[in-house]
Amino acid sequence: METSPKLGTYNYRFGLIAAGIGIVFSLMLYFMDMIYNQSPIIQAINILIPSTLAVLAIQNFKKDNDGFLSIKQSIKIGVGVFLVAGIIGLVYFTLFINTIEPDFISNTAQMQADALREARPELEESMIQMQQENTEKFFYVGFPVILIFNLFIGLIIGLVTGLFTKKS
């Protein structure tokens, strides 16, 4: 009786690779003084990295499983890769904003306040200051949201890849 390969192996291996590539990309942006740049291209690359590795993990699992793959297995791998990459990415980001760039939160809040001043000049300065203080105070509240977003993207990638490559 043959056994199916363990899904966790693919989740960890490809999640670690995705996190490593994401960290290198982040450091590259930092050294190029582009760390505060939130262009759509940079955001797309940050989603494309784990997406590509999730698809590769699913394809490798299918190959190692004698060509068999269910949608359930595909979804589990997609979510697992994004979960591992997301957790490692958030740990790195926490270290980054506390050691490498300790002014990251205040700089981000300042940039948001400046953008708000430019977009809505009619707002009172006290409202803009309050928004800036809240950004600094509640910055870490966004971490669970980032992780949930990662899991959702992993679910979509796993489902779509599973629909195109399944064989049961």
* Residue % of the chain over a pLDDT of 90: 68
8-12, 39-43, 80-84, 119-123: segment of lowest average pLDDT: 119-123
Arithmetic mean of pLDDT, 58-83:
94
Kindly give, in sequence order, each residue whose CB lies less than 8 Å from that of residue 121, ignoring residues fewer than 6 positions away: none
Share the mean pLDDT of the chain: 92
> Are residues 107 and 36 in contact, defined by beta-carbon separation less than 8 angstroms?
yes
Q: Residue 6 carries which DSSP code?
A: P
* Residue type present at position 108: T
- C-alpha 121: how far from chain center: 33
Whole-angstrom Cα Rg for the chain = 20
